[in-house]
Structure 1
Amino acid sequence: MKPKLSLKGRGLQYLAQREHSRSELRQKLLRHARAEAAAACHPAACHPGESRDLHRPGFDLPGAGQAEPPPSDTPATSPEDTVDAILDWLQAHRYLSEERFVESRVHARASRYGNLRIRQELAQHGVTLSAEEARSLKDSEFARARDVWRRKFGEPPADAADRARQMRFLGGRGFSPEVIRRVVQGGSSADDD
């Protein structure tokens, strides 16, 4: 049987698999911290009259040396505070890096998606592109959109309905309307750009 991982160990394990944003890793670790907190406060261990509310401070997490609620004179740590301290430690030791997360996400998405979609996804993670990264994506958006269009369609639209279908496809991929118009109107003659 594997030994149970600490919250810090879980964080390191998640980061070894792929880069995470701070907010994404916080959500994942909070689930475990709250589950551990709830398990530590089972009916036999809780003081009479205490609620099992997972959001209340009042006891340390298992692994911090205590399996039951601390005495009232000991400062309590909430799961949120514990996870935030772990995230601070991971950032201080460069295991968690928002810059690396942005770089890896842009690298993974740029060949298939437009700037709007990439920015939206990063915003969901609470991060933004640097000015240099935004400029680089903007400069390459037409070429990326043309490559996506070629892989999917490969030939100019035959009629208005086909043009609308191609434009909807590229719009769904997050390319800007101006780039979509240039790619679909230019079709295969866009090679000179």
Structure 2
Amino acid sequence: MTRAEFMARLKRGLVGMPTSAAADILSDYEIHFEDGKAAGRSEAEVAEALGDPNRLARELKAEAGIRRWNQEQNPSAAAGAVFAVLGLGAIDILILLPILMSVVGILFAFYMAALGLFIGGGGIMIAGPFAGFPGGALAAILGGLGLMAAATALAALTTILTIWLVNGLVWFARLHYRLLKPALDAQATDTAGDRS
């Protein structure tokens, strides 16, 4: 594989990453080719030593997604980490994805329940004193505040569970990838040996 082919495939694989991060990665791999050329190696030798550019791109995107999650810990970073890990292909998607979607659905239901409780509590707190709430105006206000506090607690606990889920998925993916990496490297070496 030539330098241009390797770089084009790597660039296509990095689509979706921030442009500055992708440019830095591409620049690093250009330096690998320059160093190889200075050492008297051919472009094909350098490309073979670097490995499959498609797999490299998936690994780099997964690491970038995980790094962003570790830095930001927000819903966007969580989604990016989950999709990057799934894109890595290190996790058996046929087994993990249905379980993950079920858990995400349950977490979403808890968020919606918290939102409903919060809105309902606000309605009771505001309209209860005027609608003849049993126990009087003070009971309506306190009841509404109680529902809003319960909703806030439910949303906070659901957020903690969501963070644990994303961290667990990232941990599992890293562990799974570490276990698969020697087998993938051996497979890539065997494939390269067969082509020779």
TM-score normalised according to structure 1 size? 0.28
Larger radius of gyration: 2
Q: With the length of structure 2 as denominator, give the TM-score of the two structures.
A: 0.28
Q: Which structure is higher in helix share?
A: 2
